[in-house]
Amino acid sequence: MVTIRLTRRGARNQPFYHVVVTDSRKRQGGASLENVGFFNPVAGGNDPKLKLDLPRIEYWVGQGAQPSERVRSLLASYRKQATA
């Protein structure tokens, strides 16, 4: 099954996450099919906190990909922010 999930990057105490499309059987930091965005929970100043490629995410969901719980909540907040 294909999933859309977060994979952690960044240094200790400075988390940075890539939103990736990957096979659910692969390990969390392993190879991914496509990188569709990022999430920076400690962004400050003018740095963007969240950036997603919505058309590609919709494509993958249309192909049967399942977003994780956290990605699902990030998508909802990103869509809400985009319409405002």
pLDDT tens digits, 62-72: 999 999 999 99
State the average pLDDT over residues 3-26.
Answer: 92
Tell the residue number behind the tokens 């950036």, with chain if given.
51
Which H or E run includes 36? strand 34-39
Decide: 36 and 20 in contact? Cβ < 8 Å: yes
pLDDT-derived band at 12, boundaries 50, 70, 90: very high
Among residues 6, 24, 28, 35, which one has the least CA distance to residue 65? Answer: 24
pTM (2 d.p.): 0.89
The domain 2-83: what is its CATH number? 3.30.1320.10
